[in-house]
Amino acid sequence: KRARQAQARTVRNLHVRSTTRGAVRRVRVACATGNLAQAQELLREASRQLDKAAGKGVLHRNAAARRKSRLARLVASLAKRQAEQNPA
């Protein structure tokens, strides 16, 4: 029974982990292309995914917080760069 449970959890964890990684990757790609609006929208989605993963125990909550912080800092630096290039 334990083996079956572990197998089911492994499949579930892999799915959660891969969707989380995909969300984080999309934010990084949006930042690399310089698309601020899209990066901000994707950051919200990635934050939700990371929180879900932490809630399900797939990721440690501190690891999720660290990743969210790094992504937010990346998006903020993109916003700052764009503000400096295009002063209003």
What residue spans define the domains of the chain?
Answer: 2-85
Residue 86: per-residue pLDDT: 82
CATH, domain range 2-85: 1.20.58.110
Whole-prediction pTM: 0.88
Residue 87: per-residue pLDDT: 75
CA torsion through residues 19, 25, 27, 33, sign: negative
CA torsion through residues 34, 35, 36, 42, sign: negative
User: What tens digit of pLDDT does each residue of 16-64 get?
Assistant: 999 999 999 999 999 999 999 999 999 999 999 999 999 999 999 999 9
